[in-house]
Amino acid sequence: MSQKADVKRFEELFAPHMDAAYNLARWLTGNESSAHDVVQESALRAFRFLHRFAGGNARAWLLAIVRNQSYTWLKASAGNRWIAIGDEMPEDDLALGHTQTPEINAIRTEEAALLQQALTALPPAFREIIVLKELEDMSYKDIAIVTDVPLGTVMSRLARARSMLRTELVKLYRHE
């Protein structure tokens, strides 16, 4: 294949999944700058090894690379504290409608911050499962591909991650 054909194939397969790649990298690395670096390195690796992609789920294949690069980054920067990521609420969110008041906004912002704090308190292996399932809406099968663990392990980790998240939220609400 020519380089031009490789670029076209890469763009068709992986470009639609760059937001998901960034989202996973951001949650695993804990900051935006590192997430951008991880996604860039992951995209480069995906392009470099495009010939190894034999078809199937391009999103899962790319997110597996992002996951591996994120863990490589985490190992290299061990000791760094997790940085909370600001909650971004779209201004045109129709769910808010006319019920949007300063009090409701303050409560939503506080709840989002507590949820984010609880999520970042989870170990990366459990955080990634929650992010892939709840934020990226991936199937158990695709999560198993991304994380390279059996389907049963995905389900048990998700149950445990949800339980851990609940426990963290209870702790945070009690200290509020």
User: Does residue 83 register a pLDDT over 70?
Assistant: no
Selected from 2.130.10.10, 3.10.129.10, 3.20.20.140, 1.10.1740.10, the CATH number assigned to the domain covering 3-77 reads 1.10.1740.10
Give the mean model confidence (pLDDT) for residues 124-148. Answer: 91
Query: Tens of pLDDT along 40-67?
Result: 999 999 998 888 888 889 999 999 999 9
Does the CA dihedral 72-21-89-95 come out positive or negative? negative
Q: Taking the chain, what is the end-to-end CA distance rounded to the nearest angstrom?
A: 59
Average pLDDT over residues 2-17: 88
Tokens at 145, concatenated: 């591909």
As a whole-number percent, the residues of the chain with pLDDT over 90 amount to 45
Q: Over range 144-150, report the average pLDDT.
A: 93
pLDDT of residue 1: 60
Looking at residue 106, its pLDDT comes to: 62
DSSP tag of 122: S
CATH topology of domain 102-175: Arc Repressor Mutant, subunit A (1.10.10)
pLDDT of amino acid 87: 36
Confidence of residue 171 (pLDDT cuts 50, 70, 90): confident
pLDDT of residue 141: 94
Residue 176, token pair as written in the block: 């509020």
